[in-house]
Structure 1
Amino acid sequence: MGTTTLETVPEPKYWHLKTVLSDALDSEFAVGEILPNERELAARFGVARATLRQALEQLELEGRLQRRRGVGTTVAPPRVGVDVGPAQGGAQGWPGSAADVWHTEGHEDTAPPAAVARLLETAEDTPVHAVRRSRTSGGQPVATEVLYVPGASVPGLPADSGEDTETSGVARARAVLRELHRLALDGQDRSVELGSARADDARRLDRLPGAPVLVVTTRYVVDRRTAAVGVATFRADTCRLNFADTGADPVLAG
């Protein structure tokens, strides 16, 4: 591998390096291949390691690279298309329908984050039902979600048995979803923002804390009031979100 010298360009040096690295990924490396270490790459392109790190971080944000624990930096596969439109074939789009691709993992009673409490119009210290769900694609985790449901939205929910086990947690979560399906859903609205993975989400998504993520917040409305709020965290390096509600297959990137 020869030495490549960057020419003087008006754009930031790391940005030009990112373009050069992207071309190299297309022509010299295969999906899943591990990149040389930072010292070798910096020497090849004649840049400081700080400049190289900026370029690598940008390529990771764009989904071209993945940093994996105990492995290093590898060439990422094309992004997968993830449909986040209303559920098809379910009770007017409630989570947990027959066509839902999410996996129910558990339940807990907990106070919601401040932003969620404002959407639910509840006090921040008031516990609500928190249903945790996950989603995979091609065998790899792509998203994790917490669905926050106040007790007033599911008044028919049976009392908790008090058994603190994984099995009872999943059963409780499914019971909450079943009760939601009894409500006539007026509609949903969603917002998307770029964020950084918190430690718990990073562990569930097999990413490092602080990795770029896309946070999709969905508000479920019944009788003009918020009945539930879902906060889904998607891997920004692997996902391309598709908001079409036609039931068509998601558009794949790459």
Structure 2
Amino acid sequence: MGTTQLETVPEPKYWHLKNVLSEALDQDFAVGEVLPNERELAARFGVARATLRQALEQLELEGRLQRRRGVGTTVAPPRVGVDVGGNRHGWPGDSVDGWQPLDATEGLAPAAVAALLGAATGPAAAGANAPAYAADAPVHIVRRTRATQGQAVAAELLYVPAASVPGLTGIEAPSGPARARAVLRELQRLVLDGQDRSVELGSARADDARELDRLPGAPVLLVTTRYLTEAGTAAVSVATYRADTCRLTFGDSGDVQITHEPRVAS
């Protein structure tokens, strides 16, 4: 990374610096390499440290950099490509979904989730065999995480009404990962008719932030999946993905693939 003095440009100076630094990351640095300290970088580019910090914060938000306690600012690994196209239909907990169960508890679903659980689809929309679910009824809440290369990239809360897992007993696996697996196993006894998904940008809740090693309020990608049977909605998943490490794909593959496409300077 050579010395570069920034000239007057129509875009904000920190944004121009961000683009210069991004190009340098592609050409001069390897994944995991530690960047020079802020004083040295500011001197090289002839900018105030406040401007440099703005550029570094933007690169961190975009997933190009990671700030690690006791290490410094390092070049981030490539984003994880997560397929959310829905072409591979399967219940959560099947052999290839990539999630690890952590725990299962009983509680009330958030209002938005309760609305999805109570919504009838297909034949159930006409009242036939509609699942019995009331907004104030407790549900099983399965907590799971997803990791790649040893780093947690997503946290999930799966909401399963009792009516969807009538064979579940409190004696078998009363708590912990075993309880979560028992809920998933019973859910898989149903016949899955399909799924629908929505994706939106959100902010990390305190629990999700702790799981993903982020600060509360950090930008995340929220993927909400509704699992459908002939009777209606059997379960709802709300998965929180780190926005700085994941990119969502919509291809035919159901696998998680790690790719790195060099950025093209504009």
> After superposition, what is the alpha-carbon deviation per residue over 1:87-133, rounded to whole angstroms, capped at 9, x for unaligned?
85xxx511111222211111011222232122123666542111111
TM-score, length basis structure 2: 0.81
Q: Report % sequence identity.
A: 73
Whether the aligned pair in 2 keeps the contact of 1:87 and 1:93 (CA below 8 Å) is no
Whether the aligned pair in 1 keeps the contact of 2:160 and 2:236 (CA below 8 Å) is yes
Matched residue type, 2:65: L
**SS in structure 1 of the partner of residue 63 of structure 2:** coil
State the match for 1:112 in structure 2.
109
Whether the aligned pair in 2 keeps the contact of 1:29 and 1:75 (CA below 8 Å) is yes
Question: Are 2:157 and 1:146 aligned?
Answer: yes
State the match for 1:79 in structure 2.
79
State the match for 2:237 in structure 1.
230
Within 5 A, what are the aligned runs for 1:18-29? Answer: 18-29=18-29
Distance 2:75 2:155 in 1: 23
User: Cα RMSD over matched residues?
Assistant: 2.6
Change (3 A) 1:29 1:253: closer
Distance 2:234 2:249 in 1: 24
Change (3 A) 1:184 1:22: same
**SS in structure 2 of the partner of residue 237 of structure 1:** coil
**SS in structure 1 of the partner of residue 159 of structure 2:** strand
Q: Which runs of 4+ in 1 moved over 4 A?
A: 85-88, 122-125, 160-163, 246-249
Distance 2:117 2:186 in 1: 17
Unaligned runs of 5+ in 1: none
Select between 40-49 and 18-27 the one with higher mean Cα deviation: 40-49
Distance 2:72 2:255 in 1: 36
Change (3 A) 1:124 1:249: closer
Distance 2:5 2:135 in 1: 56
Distance 2:143 2:256 in 1: 25
> After superposition, what is the alpha-carbon deviation per residue over 1:34-59, rounded to whole angstroms, capped at 9, x for unaligned?
22333333333233333323222221
State the match for 1:53 in structure 2.
53
Change (3 A) 1:251 1:70: closer
Distance 1:81 1:161 in 2: 36
Whether the aligned pair in 2 keeps the contact of 1:146 and 1:230 (CA below 8 Å) is yes
Question: Are 2:219 and 1:212 aligned?
Answer: yes
In the TM superposition, residue 86 of structure 1 has moved relative to its aligned partner by 4.6
Matched residue type, 2:184: L
Distance 1:29 1:117 in 2: 48
In the TM superposition, residue 229 of structure 1 has moved relative to its aligned partner by 0.7
In the TM superposition, residue 159 of structure 1 has moved relative to its aligned partner by 3.0
Distance 1:87 1:33 in 2: 37
Distance 1:103 1:245 in 2: 23
State the match for 1:98 in structure 2.
95
Matched residue type, 1:240: R
Matched residue type, 2:243: A
**SS in structure 2 of the partner of residue 233 of structure 1:** strand
Aligned residue pairs: how many? 247
Question: Are 2:170 and 1:173 aligned?
Answer: no
State the match for 1:14 in structure 2.
14
Matched residue type, 2:49: R
In the TM superposition, residue 20 of structure 1 has moved relative to its aligned partner by 0.9
Change (3 A) 1:248 1:40: closer
Matched residue type, 1:34: V
Distance 1:34 1:78 in 2: 16
Whether the aligned pair in 1 keeps the contact of 2:5 and 2:45 (CA below 8 Å) is yes
In the TM superposition, residue 71 of structure 1 has moved relative to its aligned partner by 2.6
Distance 1:76 1:246 in 2: 25
Whether the aligned pair in 2 keeps the contact of 1:14 and 1:51 (CA below 8 Å) is yes
In the TM superposition, residue 248 of structure 1 has moved relative to its aligned partner by 6.5
Greater relative contact order structure (CA < 8 Å, 6+ sep): 2
Matched residue type, 2:240: T
TM-score, length basis structure 1: 0.85
Distance 2:77 2:258 in 1: 15
In the TM superposition, residue 157 of structure 1 has moved relative to its aligned partner by 1.6
